[in-house]
Amino acid sequence: MTKLSVNINKIATLRNARGGNIPNVVEAAKKIESFGGQGITVHPRPDERHITYKDVRDLSPIVGTEFNIEGNPVAKFINLVMEAKPAQVTLVPDAEDAITSNAGWDTIKNKGFLQEVIQEFKNNGIRTSIFVDPDEKMIEGAAETGTDRIELYTEEFAVKYAEGDKTGVESYKRCATIAHQLGLGINAGHDLSLDNIKYFKENVPYLDEVSIGHALIAEALYLGLETTIQKYLELLK
């Protein structure tokens, strides 16, 4: 079964809109795990506009499933990850002013940098994943960095699927097959939802984990958090 890691950034966004500590991200993480969520994902950005560095430190000792920290490996982020010691760190090439992740790594151009950062994390027992576009050359480049996994950036698939074009999954299928042949684990995330997750899961082989935040939290407004998580788990079987 493909694991479901729930990104709780949007819960922090809601809290920050009002100030204070409602909703509480630590309590939300506990609830998500109790409802069957198999991982908690956070993506702290340098401006801390949603998940803060304090949130990461608060979450680290209480997450009982897999804790996944995403972000651009600048010095401040690297230090935070080393302190929190999550199960997984996902490297994302975000610009500081990016609203959300919008591109994967050029694993060929950034090979040396990624090798250095990944080795540091792996020396500390932290599994590494690289956020990549569904491009075969970028997958091959990722394998040369020493990463344990890749995370396929799935916006392109989601957009085409919403337009009724199911051929958008083909590049992901090819890239997942290549990644598996190269010994890489395969994660996926961005714009996956209850509408498209089943089709993606059925057509992309060797899928270890999906990380879903924006859609899941939005769907939970209508369905409830527990029901939404249970629906995802059923579709990922």
Judge whether 70 counts as a catalytic residue: yes
Catalytic residue among 151, 190, 209, 219: 190
Contact 138, 105 (CB under 8 A): yes
122-139 exposure pattern, b = at least 16 Cβ within 10 A, e = fewer: eeeebbbbbbbbbbeebb
Judge whether 43 counts as a catalytic residue: yes
Catalytic residue among 43, 50, 151, 209: 43
Residue 1: its H or E element = none
Judge whether 214 counts as a catalytic residue: no
Catalytic residue among 70, 151, 209, 219: 70
List residues with catalytic annotation: 43, 70, 190
